[in-house]
Homo-oligomer: A and B are copies of this chain.
Amino acid sequence: MSAQMPEIPWHKPRKAEPRQPLSRSLIVETAVRVLDAEGLSGVTMRRVAQELGTGPASLYAHVSNKEELFELVLERVVSEIRLPPRPEPERWKEQITEVCFEAQRVLTSHRDVSLVSLGSIPLGESQLAITEFLLDLLLQVGLPPQVAAWALDGLGQLIDTDAYEASVYAERIARGTDIHEYFGQLRTFLLALPTDRFPKLQGMADTMVTGDGDERYAFKIEVFLRGLESYLPADARTRRAGGADGGDRADHVLRTDRADRTVDA
């Protein structure tokens, strides 16, 4: 590539910038930029077109729909998710947890893009790669194929839903709502409930508002994985004693819970 020649001064082009031509990927890239800046609801055909210095009609030559554009944006985002080099069945629960948190990290770093994936079957290349990885791992662990297949459904839902929920909270925080104050209000609300109709909810107000998003996410993953574990054929269940594998983010629950136990008496 040679150095760029300067423009001949008096030969000014009709349009100020001889913009690079539109293309699917350029449009998607721009849409992601808008997404990051203004959230999913800010990604409109007009807004993206404006960012490209043109009108909304121009986009329709490369993208048939806003829906299709969203799918492309989702796929672009999902492609940022990094998978472990290979499945390690001997620590499958930790590895799945890692993938879930990596997915959430990437998804929530692009505002509420997870809303797109909630209703759609993940058929993009990167999405399939993640599915393939998890499926491979689950099969190597020894889960029955039908269990593994259906488990993917559940894991996908878990990831998407939690990412979306997290993004809703993030949005709230970004709009100025202090998260502590918010949970405080929630706690006050629960405490103010009529005791006769909502005894447990009222009594457990503190327990209900305990734990941030990550803790709750880790807990849900752990519950799901323990449930999956119960589908392992007897000969595939290795004998690592249950609580000894460290690094479990939600394990402290079993240690702290006895303290709260009183509210329930």
Contacts and interface: CB of A to CB of B under 8 A. Distances in A.
A210 B154 contact: no
Contacts of A200: 132, 135-136, 139
A146 B223 contact: no
A38 interface: no
A256 interface: yes
Given A132-B200, A201-B131, A264 B223 contact: no
Interface stretch (A1-9, A11-19, A25-33, A214-222): A214-222
The count of identical subunits is: 2
Contacts of A144: 253-254, 257-258, 260-261
Contacts of A150: 211, 216, 219-220, 253
Interface residue range, chain A: 35 or more
Given A161-B118, A198-B132, A145 B227 contact: no
Contacts of A158: 157
Interface string A130-173: 01100110010000111111111110011011101100100000
Given A223-B231, A227-B228, 4 more contacts: A118-B118, A149-B210, A157-B162, A226-B230
